[in-house]
Amino acid sequence: MNKEQIIENLKTIVQPYSEETSALAHIDENTDFINDLKINSANLVDIILDIEEKFNIEIDNDSMAKMLNVKATTEIIAAKLEARAGQ
Amino acid sequence: MLGNDIVDLYLAKTQSNWHRKNYLDKIFTTEEQLLISAAENPDVMVWLLWSMKESAYKIHNRKTGIRNFAPKSLSCTIHPNTYGEVNIDGYAYFTKSSLQTAFVHTVAAPNYNQLDEIKITIYEAPHYLFDYKSTKPGCVSHHGRYLALVY
């Protein structure tokens, strides 16, 4: 899965937790979950759990700590997918 | 420096499903999860602990410049009369909470003695103060029907 595909999947995941339709439509690497999409911090946990289910990966606490924007989140997902493929 | 966090319990019920598998484990320490499972009202305990973490984070974030999402690294201890303490990376923040039928609200301060001096104003929609920023609150929290300001 390439970066664009990860971002596309991520967009579907975050959509139900944001009412910022314009920011959602223009989602890119620089999009911040809290500042731009106004996602409630308690819902960030749901996003992490949705990511784990969708990509079949496990997000450890150190990774989760960084997952406040699309760029960091995409990088973490890509790294986890790569690690799994290498097993 | 002050922190504060309000949880509209009605909105929280529809917005977050903490019963979801692995949800609590991502946010709460083992001790906190025990407090939740032993609580008479687990729902209120979840949001009490959450508002303690959020209010402490709001100070810690400004103090250290660290912005992250690591709720489990903020460890809560509940003292009598809804006082509490949140520890993170060697820092301690002191909290005082208010448990109401419709909301849970917590204020946090770096010193225990400051807690009783904090002035708290909670507005319920649609009675928001028009230009609350001009009142220079020490921290602002907004959730659902509520706006909480501390000075």
Average per-residue pLDDT in chain B? 96
Distances (CA, A) of B64 to B58, B61, B67, B142: 10, 6, 9, 23
- Residues of B at the A interface (Cβ-Cβ below 8 Å)? 12, 15-17, 20-23, 26-27, 50, 54, 67-73, 143
Contacts of B68 (CB under 8 A, 6+ apart): A65, A66, A68
CA distance A73 to A67: 5
Q: Which helix (H) or strand (E) holds A44?
A: helix A41-55
Residues A24-77: tens digit of each pLDDT: 999 999 999 999 999 999 999 999 999 999 999 999 999 999 999 999 999 999
CA distance B136 to B151: 8
Model confidence band, residue B22 (pLDDT cutoffs 50, 70, 90): very high
Structure tokens at B55: 């209010």
β-pairing verdict for B120-124 and B103-109: unpaired
Model confidence band, residue B129 (pLDDT cutoffs 50, 70, 90): low
The string of DSSP letters for B72-120 reads GGSEEEEPGGGEEEEEETTEEEEEEEEE-SSEEEEEEESSGGGGGG--E
- Is the model's pLDDT at B130 over the cut of 80? no
Residues B89-103: tens digit of each pLDDT: 999 999 999 999 999
The strand pairing partners of B148, in sequence order, are B122, B141
Asked whether the beta carbons of residue A45 and residue B70 sit closer than 8 angstroms, the reply is no
Region B111-118 average pLDDT: 96
Chain A residue with CA closest to B13: the answer is A42
Query: Which among A43, A64, A66 has the least Cβ separation from residue B26?
Result: A64
Structural domains in chain B, CATH included, are 3-150 (3.90.470.20)
CA distance A37 to B52: 24
> What ipTM score was computed for the predicted complex, to two decimals?
0.92
CA distance A16 to A47: 10
Residues B31-63: tens digit of each pLDDT: 999 999 999 999 999 999 999 999 999 999 999
> What confidence score (pLDDT) does residue B126 get?
81
Q: Which helix (H) or strand (E) holds B150?
A: strand B146-150
Indicate the pTM of the whole model.
Answer: 0.95
Q: Looking at this protein, which amino acid is placed at residue B144?
A: G
| A54 shares contact with chain B (CB less than 8 Å) | no
Q: Number of CB pairs < 8 Å for A and B?
A: 45
